[in-house]
């Protein structure tokens, strides 16, 4: 599977501008031969926009994303707000190249007051879904900073962990160091797709990357709007998990106490 990762500043609060940018990115990615495009966290509306996110979530944003995916015949993981009753979730939705909804992950680990003031927490540690011959795990931003999340993805057979992100200063070390560790300790691909630029009170670090199961950085960005491309090969995951058998060598019977508060 060929994936494209869209790092962008976006236009906070302007759904039409962001969907236009998504449309253009999908056209470019599809022309490049990509099977799947991944946006950053809350790309469709913007992330640090306060209560405006609830108003924008009243529109059927998922249907708009699905139409773009279908028109370009490319699967899309889009970051967007999702209303469910009175609750608003920070969601990463995966739609197939035919526009069908395949999976959604609601951010499980809320980051500080910024998230908690606006969003409800999802109740799934990780979301797994198969697309073609690749098992995909969906996480969002802060989720990946908990080792349990990526370990659960790997234990569930994931080949790649897709992480739409809005990582801000002063936490650039997460993008620079932790993502390689998560890929290495689980022998899976990790695609960390970050926001860039300034938005509200936040300055984003950019530094999106795709890291292979050996910890090798396959594609990386600094600052600026960019599409990163990488190939996801399940055979490479199998080879690396055999060569570096962290998963096989675990002793879960010793770990029970780690789940206690």
Residue of 5, 141, 145, 199 marked active site = 141
Q: Please give the average per-residue pLDDT across 200-223, as a whole number.
A: 96
Rounded-to-integer distance, Cα 192 and Cα 49, Å: 22
Residue of 26, 82, 88, 107 marked active site = 107
pLDDT exceeds cutoff 70 at 261? no
pLDDT exceeds cutoff 90 at 234? yes
Residue of 41, 82, 145, 199 marked active site = 41
pLDDT exceeds cutoff 80 at 217? yes
Region of 28 please: left (phi>0), alpha (psi -120 to 50) or beta.
alpha
pLDDT exceeds cutoff 90 at 260? no
Domains recognised in the chain with CATH numbers = 2-259 (3.60.110.10)
Nearest to 9, CA basis, from 198, 247, 239:
198
pLDDT exceeds cutoff 90 at 255? no
Please say if 41 is a catalytic residue: yes
Nearest to 151, CA basis, from 190, 118, 113, 107:
190
Question: What integer pLDDT is reported at residue 257 of this predicted model?
Answer: 75
Q: What is the pTM of this model?
A: 0.96
Please say if 141 is a catalytic residue: yes
Rounded-to-integer distance, Cα 234 and Cα 213, Å: 10
pLDDT exceeds cutoff 80 at 158? yes
Q: Where are the alpha helices (DSSP H) in the chain?
A: 15-31, 52-56, 61-72, 112-116, 147-155, 172-173, 179-186, 234-243, 246-249
Q: Please give the average per-residue pLDDT across 107-132, as a whole number.
A: 96
Question: For residue range 27-79, what is the model confidence (pLDDT) as tens digits?
Answer: 999 999 999 999 999 999 999 999 999 999 999 999 999 999 999 999 999 99
Rounded-to-integer distance, Cα 197 and Cα 206, Å: 7
Does residue 90 sit in helix, strand or coil?
strand
């Amino acid at each position: 599977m060929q994936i494209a990762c869209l790092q962008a500043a976006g236009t906070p609060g302007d759904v039409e501008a962001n969907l236009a940018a998504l449309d253009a990115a999908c056209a470019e990615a599809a022309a490049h031969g990509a099977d799947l495009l991944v946006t950053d966290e809350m790309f469709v509306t913007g992330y640090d926009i306060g209560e405006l996110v609830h108003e924008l979530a009243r529109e059927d944003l998922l249907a708009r994303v699905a139409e773009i995916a279908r028109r370009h015949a490319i699967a899309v993981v889009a970051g967007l707000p999702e209303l469910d009753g009175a609750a608003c979730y920070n969601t990463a939705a995966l739609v197939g190249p035919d526009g069908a909804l395949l999976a959604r992950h609601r951010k499980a680990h809320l980051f500080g007051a910024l998230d908690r003031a606006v969003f409800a927490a999802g109740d799934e540690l990780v979301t797994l879904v198969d697309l073609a011959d690749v098992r995909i795990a969906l996480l969002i931003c802060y989720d990946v900073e908990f080792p349990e999340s990526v370990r659960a993805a790997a234990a569930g057979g994931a080949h790649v962990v897709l992480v739409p992100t809005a990582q801000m200063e002063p936490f650039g070390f997460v993008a620079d160091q932790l993502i390689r560790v998560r890929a290495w300790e689980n022998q899976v691909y990790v695609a960390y797709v970050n926001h860039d630029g300034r938005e509200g009170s936040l300055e984003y670090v950019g530094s999106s990357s795709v890291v292979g199961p050996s910890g090798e950085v396959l594609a990386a960005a600094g600052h600026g709007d960019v599409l990163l491309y990488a190939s996801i090969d399940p055979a490479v995951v199998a080879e690396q998990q055999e060569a570096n058998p962290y998963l096989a060598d675990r002793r879960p019977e010793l770990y029970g106490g780690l789940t206690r508060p």
